[in-house]
Chain A
Amino acid sequence: MQVRRGRELTQDLTLTADVAIVGSGAGGGMAARELARAGARVIVLEEGPFLRAEEMSQREEDMMPKLFQERGGQMTSDLAIRVMSGRALGGSTVHNINLCKRIAPEILALWEREHSVTGMREADLRPTFEQVEADLSVRSIEEKDRNANNQILARGLTALGWRGGALSHNRVGCQGSGFCEIGCPFNAKQNALKVLLPEAASRGAQIFSDVRALAVKHEGGRVRGIEAEALDAGGRGHKTLRIRAAAVVLAGSAIGSAALALKSGLPDPYLQLGRGLRMHPGLAVAGWFDDKVDGFRGIPQSYECTEWLDLSPGSQRRVWITTAFAHPIGAAVMLPGFGAFHRTWMQRYSHLAVLMAMVHDQSSGRVGLRGDGRAKIDYTVDAGDRAQLLLGVRACARILLAGGAKKVLIPSIPPIEVETEAQIDAISEEAVAPHSIALTAVHPMGTLRMGDNPRTSVVSSQGAHHQLAGLFVLDGSLFPTSIGGPPQIPIYALSMHLSPGVADFLRKSSS
């Protein structure tokens, strides 16, 4: 695949295309392929680097700064939640854990009923989901590929009689090395970088890495293109790119797309830009076992607990639980405390199983801009979601004890160690209060929401901006609510589902 690296550009560029796509992950990669297939002249701009499989070193301190926004240190503005968002060619599909779930029918029904979304019933999307799953080789993870950490989750659920099951993934040729979250050196991920962008490039799409979009240019109610800067090896802008295009697709994540929309001064008569941020805030709980777990080996996440996940409106069971294992640096940052206490738990590293509880959140945050132009993420977990976090902590602790843990560690401040049911019951909501426990969010959604009512959404159900002709959004920003599960397949699918509308727009505008 031919990729033009921004750091290698020697002069400013002015280019013309039918469509400029900002972002190259699930949304942008799919849009690039679909629009290239439709015959459009496509340019893809990705802020992050182009990393080949052989450049994935499996070293956290090396890969985190390359693969994640703000070198892995992106936080909400109150420093309460770490937000993990991708920035390499292929976007978050390069570092995600390859979990594949469709959007639940309850969520789609809610979008239609309360958010004026049309054309996205389960039956409307089913063929698209099937096509995406075929394209990306999605299949259930076999029991033989379940590592010890996931076996503990399955065992705990069986002992408790709770609902759970195997997850599906999009890997082919997985070596089970366990480093998925910092890029696969075996090229096993059937992701945007491997499956979609190469086909787009083979059909003439021009793909740029290390290029940061600065503004969507617009005039007279129509988009005119993109202004961007090529980044040098130090991440500083060193050359300018001006791309004239009849259509622009924002696909830089719910954070990046919203920030670009705000920087561009897009029309926003009903003050909707950047609002409605959901993130699936999550926390980890560790269990200490007599036997070795070696959770860093094998497929990191292959089993789930859905006992506490009911996606119907008004539900008070909004917790999705799966495994979450980190390599030493990630584990050390997650484990609470410092000094002797911390070291004691780190010495147990290979005997730890870790579960993660993510909340199907109702808290609503907002993406804004800082003075230096970076995205500012305002998000506070509300009381209802805090109760769900507590539910998640307790459920994880129960599963780990039922799975055979001799001690469970809740990484709150101060840390809580539990060995009995009574101790689990005694965990109070204080343990999950803001800044009292390490929270992570890996699924930003919903800042440029879709819907057919311009007063409550930014784009239509076709992803077209309500006020600006030629501007489309095709990423997780579209979701009007949280979806309560991993978003990669939903983003791939929505982008595939809505790309024909972009192609139609191009045909009409050229005629």
Chain B
Amino acid sequence: MTRRRWLGGALVVGLAVVGAGLVRARGYAKVEGLRTLAAWEFAVLDAVIARMVLERTDATRFADQFLADAPARDRRDCRHLFAFIEQLAPLRCGYLSRFTRLDPAAQDAVLTWLERAPLGQLRGAFQVLKSLSMMGFYRDAGTWPSLGYTGPAVAW
């Protein structure tokens, strides 16, 4: 590869990264009181959880707390995952909008693709999102009566 081609490629990648960063950070509602998630990350995870459990709850707030106590490397990995879900996964499924701007059926299509992706790491990424969603949702005692679950035998 010639130096000119390499510099040209690097410029394109750099602009793409800056552009994605600008796009990523704009157009998201401000959320007060978050410990670690940025507003855009909160929006992405909130949209994912809504499709996972079919309800809007405080599960995303819980995920923020949970991730805040996680090692920095895990938070970084989650940040990359949220960016992937928001920007790239919809493109892979033929949608030009961000994940958070898709309608529910399209969001389900993106999540289904991720769950069944040929690459194992992507399926693993789906499991991470699912674990965060389910932990946030089913930790809530309000969900237990519908399961027939009576909760802890001890109340400290």
Contacts and interface: CB of A to CB of B under 8 A. Distances in A.
B121 A329 contact: no
Contacts of B143: 328
Contact of A58 (B51, B74, B134, B152): B152
B153 interface: yes
B115 to A, nearest CB: 6
B116 A414 contact: yes
Interface in A44-93: 54, 56-61, 65, 71, 73, 75, 78-80
Interface string B132-149: 011101110001101111
A294 B148 CA distance: 8
A332 interface: yes
B75 interface: no
Interface string B79-98: 00000000000000000000
Interface stretch (B5-13, B38-46, B63-71): B63-71
Contact of B127 (A79, A235, A339, A434): A79
Contacts of A337: 115
B73 interface: yes
Given A78-B121, A234-B69, A329-B139, A351 B148 contact: yes
Contact of A346 (B73, B133, B147, B152): B147
B124 interface: yes
A131 interface: no
A61 B154 contact: no
Contacts, number: 105
Interface residues of A, number: 46
Contacts of B66: 61, 65
A332 to B, nearest CB: 4
A328 B147 contact: yes
Nearest to B111: A338
B24 interface: no
Interface string A335-364: 001111011001101110000000000000
B120 A80 contact: yes
B135 A73 contact: no
B57 interface: no
A398 B130 CA distance: 29
Instruction: Give the 4 A-B residue pairs with the shortest CB-CB distance, closest first.
Output: A79-B124, A350-B148, A58-B152, A332-B134
